[in-house]
Structure 1
């Protein structure tokens, strides 16, 4: 379960890189009931999404004209410089940073050996998202071309615990990842191997899940606003009803109606 009691290795931030921040912000505020708060002139166009006055995500303009719009998941670190060294030693590569964000924290961005991009946040004045769970980020998931490689990499970098679970019908294996020593209650994401031709861009990527009240209604609202359905609403026993989507700019995300809200 994601919580705001952040520890090293746990997701603590998520943001969207967009070509058109205003239009993308309008899509997500309409879909998820968030409010968009632009940053000041010094923010470079970076702003936050809020729900009930709490920060649930952020958005900013793409810094590379060749980059595609995408959500980036950040994991907490106590030392961004040490994590950078660990990433590189484990076979990943540095995309940006480490760099300070005023007195709010220190960040760095990476690409894992399978091509998936992710980032870390070393807390300063900003500890992380104010809210996770209902109406906000509730899970993170990696679709990878090489699950064993991904497990080795992330357990080396973040000391995650992993648990393999067979998928229904012999469809493969799903690996649940948890903070070190956290057990099932400390789980915050999963990873699953997919063939290259099953990955929309042909490469590995991290995807955020946002908790919603009604998955099917959210899918209908998203498609009415120009999103594409990658996987329609599907029940997952003990988890809830999920759907995978691509927003109008091409960024991938998912929605989850938790099982406890469906009874």
Structure 2
């Protein structure tokens, strides 16, 4: 997903009241570098990368995906009418070339709508953002919302495990015929979430390192994908890109 266009998840943000705890965990796990832009915002650079891949802001208490658009203010009303809740209206920090708004989708998942004059193609290196996963308890609502707002399409993932999670539970998310993420049907009593996937070379060793730093595993034993909770309770996943 190195090429980006409007409607692409091209950034992520971690809201926290304890920046030091976030940098300790993710710096230890992915060897991220941290570059403060203001007292309230720190940008994240993956090892081997040349530009930021996400940010940490304070105060806050959750991790969210950020979706690129050329016109944040112009898109807000359409997205609100599609079922989103606007948490923070469009804002443009002075002199930064960024416009953003924070929202929640119809099932309560936080996301940020943003434009950035500096935006360049993503660098897919170890520790970088490499896709995302949405878990939903109401599949039709989730599909309808993201298709209407961002043009995402959903196709059954025929490579998903047949048992105990049938292939019908998994969908490849695409935009402009390019795979950008995945959707998982969590069932009526499951949990709704939207989480980033980070590129690693060795999934198992990364899981063990994450555990040693305070993460917990919450994947089902026979489920596909490695899903974790960081020490603050934020969900994230690992991918080798295969």
Q: Same fold (TM over 0.5)?
A: yes
* Cα distance in 1 between the residues matched to 2:32 and 2:235: 18
Q: Give the C-alpha shift of residue 149 in structure 1.
A: 0.7
User: Structure 1's 95 and 70: CA in aligned 2 closer, same or farther, altered over 3 A?
Assistant: same
Residue matched to 2:201: 213
Which ranges of 4 or more aligned residues in structure 1 deviate by more than 6 Å? 232-235
Please say if 1:59 is aligned against 2:73: no
Query: RMSD of aligned C-alpha atoms?
Result: 2.1
- Alpha-carbon contact 2:137-2:189 (below 8 Å) kept: no
Residue matched to 1:94: 86
Instruction: Note the 1:217-228 alignment, pairs <5 A.
Output: 217-228=205-216
* Cα distance in 1 between the residues matched to 2:157 and 2:181: 13
Instruction: Note the 1:190-209 alignment, pairs <5 A.
Output: 190-195=182-187, 197-199=189-191, 204-209=192-197
Q: Give the C-alpha shift of residue 258 in structure 1.
A: 2.9
Q: Give the C-alpha shift of residue 257 in structure 1.
A: 2.1
Residue matched to 1:252: 235
Q: Give the C-alpha shift of residue 147 in structure 1.
A: 0.9
- Alpha-carbon contact 2:10-2:122 (below 8 Å) kept: no
- SS of residue in 1 equivalent to 2:119: coil
- SS of residue in 1 equivalent to 2:218: strand
The TM-score, its normalising length taken from structure 2, stands at 0.88
* Cα distance in 2 between the residues matched to 1:88 and 1:214: 40
* Cα distance in 2 between the residues matched to 1:73 and 1:86: 19
Give unmatched runs, 5+ long, in structure 2.
Answer: none
Give unmatched runs, 5+ long, in structure 1.
Answer: 64-68, 237-241
Residue matched to 1:66: none
User: Structure 1's 227 and 31: CA in aligned 2 closer, same or farther, altered over 3 A?
Assistant: same
- SS of residue in 2 equivalent to 1:31: helix
